Amino acid sequence: MQDNILEIENLDVQFPIHIGTVRAVENVSLTLKKGEVMGLVGESGCGKSTLGFSIIRMLRPPGIISAGKINYHNEDILKMNEKDILAIRGKRIAMIFQDPLTSLNPLFRIGDQFVETIQTHENGVSRKQALEKAGAMLERLGIARDRLFEYPHQMSGGMRQRIMIGMGLILDPDLLIADEPTTALDVIVEAQFLDLLNELRADFNLTILLISHNLGIVAQMADRITVMYGGRIAETGESEDVFANPMHPYTQGLLASIPNIQLEQPELKTMPGAPPDLVDPPQGCVFNPRCPQVMEICKNKNPELGKTSGHRAACWLYV
């Protein structure tokens, strides 16, 4: 589709280790349209962050992309040489991480880190010009220009996260991957951060892949939601459809486990069991050992998500 910025087709990501091969992402396909926010949700270890790192080809060893395509503006990222991918990473596709303190270099001032980012991708830009551009970005984020001359440890967690956004947006990318961006923030700063991200989305015409385990955040931000479990896509659809009518038993379990002070619940609902071992996943549907609606076919054959558009789930209840 012409308005698709990103198209991922049948992606497999594996991590060969001494006890076997971790199938971190398996047969994943999704699209991102220009200007939309896609929420990618699921428990820790389900493959969300691995998918995000695969898009910008920043998998840590021994991770390998063993199959599939990642088309960015109809060009396969997996076929690009190192020079081409470096030209895209940071400039056209930016990524912000869940812990800005470890993402920012503690030995360099904030301004120096902005200058390095700008001069790496824009030839002929002087240090003075780069600092002017960085100062304007900080002011847009509600941070005084003189903070450019401070070190990361001199700033609060919320301010560091704003700095990470600024560094991501300074080169005007059209795709932003946000990997658990609010994990290190308290609820007040988190709310301010989400408001800012919504403003920047409109101002910069951003397309955002929002990776999170927090369904409340995704509900506020996302136009569409993709739920992952065990390295696979369990369900995908428009946010309103997924929240109003969750199809997959895993999605139903996630939503039921959200605390709701308006309901008289004596106990918090939880899902029994634990995420699967991706070295030796269960046969059939990867969720079947935890599923309250499991059938015999679920234990023997893996359901497919299907190629149709709209709200759909990889579950034998709907095949």
Per-residue pLDDT of the chain (319 residues), as tens digits, is 458 999 999 999 999 999 999 999 999 999 999 999 999 999 989 999 999 999 999 998 999 999 999 999 999 999 999 999 998 998 999 998 877 777 899 999 999 999 999 999 998 999 999 999 999 999 998 899 999 999 999 998 888 988 999 999 999 999 999 998 887 778 888 888 888 888 888 888 899 999 998 888 899 899 999 999 999 999 999 999 999 999 999 999 999 888 776 666 667 788 889 999 999 999 999 999 999 999 999 999 999 997 777 899 999 998 7
pLDDT of residue 245: 95
The whole-number pLDDT of residue 262 equals 66
pLDDT computed for residue 2 by the predictor? 53
The Cα angle at residue 47 between residues 250 and 177, in degrees rounded to 5: 110
What CATH topology corresponds to 4-92+173-262+272-318?
Rossmann fold (3.40.50)
List the domain boundaries for the chain. Answer: 4-92+173-262+272-318, 103-172
Distances (CA, A) of 207 to 38, 55, 97, 218: 8, 14, 16, 14
Structure tokens given for 183: 């994990």
Phi and psi torsions of 71, nearest 5°: -95, 120
- At residue 249, the pLDDT reads 96
Looking at residue 92, what is its pLDDT? 93
- Check if the beta carbon of residue 43 is closer than 8 Å to that of residue 80: no
Strands across the sheet containing 64-72: 20-33, 4-17, 64-72, 75-76
Beta strands in 42-140 (DSSP E): 64-72, 75-76, 93-96
**What confidence score (pLDDT) does residue 266 get?**
65
The dihedral built from the CA positions of residue 289, 291, 292 and 295, taken in this order, carries a sign that is negative
The two tokens of residue 75 are: 């060009």
